[in-house]
Structure 1
């Protein structure tokens, strides 16, 4: 039974989902870092919000951990690079609190435009300073969106409804999508000189850190206002403070800060700054939504291999997972075969090509390719899985190529895997029989029909009389029982292949004996 640890406050409904689906769950919010490290090794999944920090140190002591689920959008409290290197899937819930966060940004824009917090405090203090709080209308103003993804597009929709002019900077925003949203796609430079209000809706990555800094803030029209309900670190707080004091920026509304909890910040002393304590997702509806979503996603992955909203792995829907599973197993076995044969040499892998024909060509191929890469790389490097295999291949400079063939071949489905090294090229082909059973059909262009077995012996030899007898005798003398025996050859008297399924691992010394037999070119014990 998989075990999941919930280390932050989540709705009890999330616990109920795990339990209902047969997953053991422990609810332990508020763990200190040392406490988390002490127990994380017992769990397959970790469900968090923003408080828990999933660091490299945590991941290093979590050998069972397969998935980290973040109930929310941002994953800056997770070391995604280290998680990927260790083969841990990192998921978030990008849609559960999208409306809530977008509404908060709109609310902050209203509060900033009409100075609502200061006016409320003044009125409650017994003052009636009607003339002090002169606001501005949103009608006909230009709103500049930095980031127009899920949340940004909702903000755009609301702003258009307020009769604002919306311009958006987002490298991933297509012209067609901009037209659908009723926004104008612009570059950042143009947004800065045109916007009356600027609101940020982008993740915090290296390219977006301090995207509003001293230089870019200076390009804003004097009297512009800034709203940030996305991530602390998108705005340079020192530069913002200077601009607010000088009057370059008329006001700012901030829900997020560079350091949180933000209990002391120079911006708090300014009257033209509206602040809230990271409330973007703080509604009852959003908290319930993200808790339910992360629990379902993690349960799907742990029980069926379905992957939703992963940061570091291709998505596989719950509907796709059962259909993809045998194809992924086939891809992994083909990769493992080539990887084990390649591991016996010293030459480096330069290219891995995966070709898909028939039904395989119609599927979601990213997880299949990831499975094939994991199969190839594991014998050479150890702990490689579908999560970290593409990264490992990229880091090693391996060129990975996918080819789709629409032609109809001899088999209803076929996956061909080719590995090119400095010394040679190896190619294997496989199909599925009885709908879901992987079968090898070709090695190096030689037809060999063989099912994969946990323990196998692979031999290449010269096709001459006497080899099979000597080979069988050598195994018999060592007490090795042959389960299945598969042969293939390129041509009469040419290269031949022998693939044997064994009931148990090959005893020590037998492989060396087989390698000394006449006509043997290569012998390798395999495991799947």
Structure 2
């Protein structure tokens, strides 16, 4: 059955055609997002939901979305999506961080010019028949210091435009490297230094607990007298009442705002103040940007629903269409390693360590880790997947450690997963050969080469004569066929393991018979979501 997508906000009709061209059924209902009750009534029929800002994807809506696999937001902000609730349900949330970057950056520059030269007020005055040439005394941009708070996609474009305008540009961003700053021709500084030096300040950071109110009365007190502030990022980054007081006192010479603490903004402490330029969240409002983000979100959602490629996901590692063919076998391997450990472990898990050796260390290890954790938890939580698993591990207080290292063995690359409980530490490692099939190469420190089948039995025992015969006889009497058999031991007469490949699940009475043998230490029936490769 073809995947089905609902478009509940106003998106370009070209985006709708992209879905259709990729084999995705699509229902275009651009006004439905405003009717939360009607949306909740039909959302259970869809695999994907394409939105802008009008649709609110709440926890209640997600509860109704029993089939939903992906939410695509045409634009950067995902404030209207309950991401934790979506993650718990295994729903991928995507945005389009690049589609409107230039448009928003240009709007910030436009507001900076408008505030510097008081253009809106001058326009109103002139069109009213006045000629108040002396009233509108502006300042030059050239040679001034521009302070950029947040130097990601949009902030870096604003910074480069500032350099082009012959401004001195300083930037605060914890994730901005010195090398990247040098590449942009700007200076990386701490926030207080930016406040002290900047003639113009522009904000381009997401809204988080740390950035909320980042420009308040205390911050403004650290700024130059006559500073001008532009916000095209998120309402709430600037405390509006504090800024209004600073403008009234003359501390701040002007401000340009495209976003507000409450939107739609029908009132604000900034409205009506001298030299404050306000626009109704127009940062992404150009023909090019609207088309770009709509096409981008349609392509991303279709690629995921049809091919499994994940890009620009908020709550899951991205897997590009180009890397998917190479990565997919190792994603399945990681999931099987996790599934082995999860099914073989009975006690509460304290910690998980995942080691990527050789070629796997250079892969998309975030995706591999998510797959391993999903496999690990699946024996306890049936609905877990790569999206929800990392969150569930964190909620359960399980410590996760990841490490990468150069090639250390005979394999070009492998993954090792180690699980620690109160009673024991269990380790399993695997790799993929050129055939793309996942294999176990080490269990409990014992080397072996075992493909992974759908139904298996894993036993640990003393290396003693008769074990193979015992297992064969026991399963034969029960009418359960053994398709294949893999053995391993650490030394003659020491610890040994066995993996049996079966045509059907292990019957309870057979498991009891195996465990009754004095040489068998443990026996765990296993089931993996793979074809019976070893059959």
For the criterion TM > 0.5, the same-fold answer is yes
Change (3 A) 1:359 1:149: closer
Q: RMSD of aligned C-alpha atoms?
A: 2.1
Residue in structure 1 matched with residue 80 of structure 2 by the alignment? 77
Secondary structure at the counterpart of residue 269 of structure 1: coil
Once residues 174 and 248 of structure 2 are traced to their aligned partners in structure 1, the CA distance between those partners, rounded to angstroms, is: 32
1:246 CA displacement: 2.3
Q: Report matched runs for 1:186-335 at 5 Å.
A: 186-335=189-338
1:74-127 CA distance string (max 9 Å, x none) = 222222222223322222211111111011011111111222222222233333
Residue in structure 1 matched with residue 100 of structure 2 by the alignment? 97
Does residue 340 (structure 1) correspond to residue 343 (structure 2)? The answer is yes
Residue in structure 2 matched with residue 46 of structure 1 by the alignment? 49
Deviation larger for 19-28 or 385-394: 385-394
Once residues 445 and 173 of structure 1 are traced to their aligned partners in structure 2, the CA distance between those partners, rounded to angstroms, is: 42
1:508 CA displacement: 4.8
Does residue 524 (structure 1) correspond to residue 527 (structure 2)? The answer is no
Once residues 286 and 340 of structure 1 are traced to their aligned partners in structure 2, the CA distance between those partners, rounded to angstroms, is: 49
Residue in structure 1 matched with residue 123 of structure 2 by the alignment? 120
Does residue 398 (structure 1) correspond to residue 401 (structure 2)? The answer is no
Secondary structure at the counterpart of residue 270 of structure 2: helix
1:151-205 CA distance string (max 9 Å, x none) = 1111122222222222222222222222222222222212222222211111111
1:525 CA displacement: 1.7
Change (3 A) 1:408 1:106: same
Residue in structure 2 matched with residue 499 of structure 1 by the alignment? 499
Residue in structure 2 matched with residue 439 of structure 1 by the alignment? 439
1:136-160 CA distance string (max 9 Å, x none) = 2222222221112221111122222
Residue in structure 1 matched with residue 26 of structure 2 by the alignment? 25
Change (3 A) 1:165 1:414: closer
Deviation larger for 6-15 or 60-69: 60-69
Contact persistence 1:304–1:322 (CA under 8 A): no
Deviation larger for 289-298 or 408-417: 408-417
Once residues 103 and 21 of structure 1 are traced to their aligned partners in structure 2, the CA distance between those partners, rounded to angstroms, is: 33
Change (3 A) 1:9 1:439: same
| Gapped regions of structure 2 (runs ≥ 5) | 529-535
Please give the TM-score of this superposition, normalised by the length of structure 2: 0.92
Please give the TM-score of this superposition, normalised by the length of structure 1: 0.93
1:509 CA displacement: 4.0
Secondary structure at the counterpart of residue 160 of structure 2: helix
Contact persistence 2:359–2:407 (CA under 8 A): no
